[in-house]
Amino acid sequence: MIDKSELSEWYHRILKDAKIVDSRYPVKGMLVYRRWGLFIIRKIQRELEKMLEESGHEPMLFPVAIPENVLKKETRHIAGFEDEVFWITHAGRNELDVKLALRPTSETPIYEMFKLWIRSHRDLPFKMHQSCAVYRYETKHTRPLIRGREFLWNEGHSAHESEESAKKNILEIKEIYGKLINEVLCLPFIINERPEWDRFPGADNTYAIDTIMPDGRTLQIATIHNLGQNFSRVFDIKFETEKGTHEFVYQTSYGPSFGRLLASVICIHGDDNGLILPPRIAPLQVIIIPILFKESENEKIIEYSKEIEVKLREMGIRTEIDMSEDHPGAKFYHWEMMGVPVRIEIGPREVEGKTMKIVRRDTKEKFHINIDEIDRIGNIFNEISRNLRERAEREFKKRIFEAKNIDEIRRFIGRGIIETGWCGKRKCIEEIEEIGDVLSINNKEAMCVVCRERGREIRIAKSY
């Protein structure tokens, strides 16, 4: 048993024991992704890439090195990253004529190519994506998968003929990310439009997808940016209209962090026994444990276990038999900690009755089914996903608070998301930001908690 109430200690223990990542690599803030963690990230990646490509995105992979003159073309953009860029200054003993940046994000190099590819309205909309690593010299306290100096993500970029087309793409991306986060990962989330001072550098609008971790802090797991024509004007990305005139394209960019998505799954669904993984991303969906008693019966138990394994694999279910020499209790503990959604126990009774003892990881419910009902495993996966989704949503809703004064903000801060009011004055928001981070400014009317004047609703929280 691992006490999850001590979330940080629990989290680091799970990362180690479940072989998710190893943070002892000799560059601080860079991780070694191990079998369990890398499988989950790749599964999330494939699920996302499939949806993006079905929506018309072309897969690509750009170089990791960006020339300094290209990175600095959009001045507001580089100003947002200049303290975090890793620079390559030498090749062997030779100093480079032009410094190269390790990719902190890819707007500038990608748009350097967009201007070569986009010529006519017939080329639009143009949509692409890449899954890659990005590098930022994070100066804050690093946390594995949550805040590091190298992290894995998918970034998408699009160019459009009109502002309306760009906004339509943003709505489609919100829907795609929503399906990934809620349907596949069974996570609750809220979309917040970031205030002007917290937008992505060079964007007209930034929409952040936030979830709430069990310690009450919010975690930004994806962002979507409306770039307007800011980058197309800098990079001279024009197209010829049907009327023969030339216009600058409208652009959007967006991306989720695979590490933060994985961290959210670990922390939100896990319990004192370890991981609880949604079936669609679990490296192993079913573990079969033969309960061996007597030499005379063991061969039949193992044969029957193998028969079940074959049937499940034919159904496309990731299945293994635990043939290790550990006693059953140790096997149960290990696979519960690893988060395997379904455990099947096979003993003499199951062999005799042609049944299987099913144990659900999410509820610990135990029941028997006949081998000719093996198709029910798929339905059990759906039930597990639904239960994880509903359970996480209930906890999420408990962490949304309303504050009508500063004292109430102080009481709720660090426990979730607080909805309150701000008049629009700088001195009032500065007082609020001394307590928490502003996630969004909404259109709903609300009274300012500082000066009591009429204003708009804002959401604040303690964020990672």
> Both 130 and 186 in a single domain?
yes
Structural domain harbouring 103: 7-269
Cα 67 to Cα 88, 92, 151, 307, distances in angstroms: 9, 18, 21, 58
pLDDT band, very low/low/confident/very high, at 286 (cuts 50, 70, 90): very high
Domain membership of residue 224 (yes or no) is yes
> Both 80 and 156 in a single domain?
yes
Domain membership of residue 328 (yes or no) is yes
> Both 242 and 354 in a single domain?
no
pLDDT band, very low/low/confident/very high, at 175 (cuts 50, 70, 90): very high
Taking the C-alpha atoms of residue 256 and residue 159, their distance in angstroms, rounded to an integer, is 19
> Both 42 and 165 in a single domain?
yes
Would you state the structure tokens that stand for residue 350, as one six-digit string? 């199951």
Domain membership of residue 387 (yes or no) is no
454: CATH: 3.30.110.30
Domain membership of residue 278 (yes or no) is no
Domain membership of residue 295 (yes or no) is yes
Would you state the structure tokens that stand for residue 60, as one six-digit string? 């690509």
> Both 363 and 424 in a single domain?
no
> Both 301 and 363 in a single domain?
yes
pLDDT tens profile 11-48: 999 999 999 999 999 999 999 999 999 999 999 999 99
| Predicted TM-score (pTM) of this structure | 0.96
Domain membership of residue 146 (yes or no) is yes
Would you state the structure tokens that stand for residue 423, as one six-digit string? 């008049």
Domain boundary among 318, 352, 380: 380
CA 105 to chain centre: 17
Domain boundary among 244, 269, 294: 269
> Both 306 and 426 in a single domain?
no
Q: Do 204 and 167 contact (CB within 8 A), yes or no?
A: no
> Both 324 and 370 in a single domain?
yes
pLDDT tens profile 228-238: 999 999 999 99
> Both 73 and 113 in a single domain?
yes
Domain membership of residue 389 (yes or no) is no
> Both 133 and 249 in a single domain?
yes
Number of domains in the chain: 3
pLDDT tens profile 58-69: 999 999 999 999
* 252 closest CA partner among 162, 179, 152, 122: 162
The C-alpha angle with vertex 219 and arms to 218 and 224, in degrees rounded to 5, equals: 120
Neighbours of 237 (CB within 10 A): 24
pLDDT tens profile 287-317: 999 999 888 789 999 999 999 999 999 999 9
342: CATH: 3.40.50.800
Quick one: pLDDT at residue 153?
98
145: CATH: 3.30.930.10
> Both 263 and 290 in a single domain?
no
pLDDT more than 90, % of the chain: 94
Domain membership of residue 388 (yes or no) is no
> Both 147 and 231 in a single domain?
yes
Domain boundary among 380, 408, 429: 380
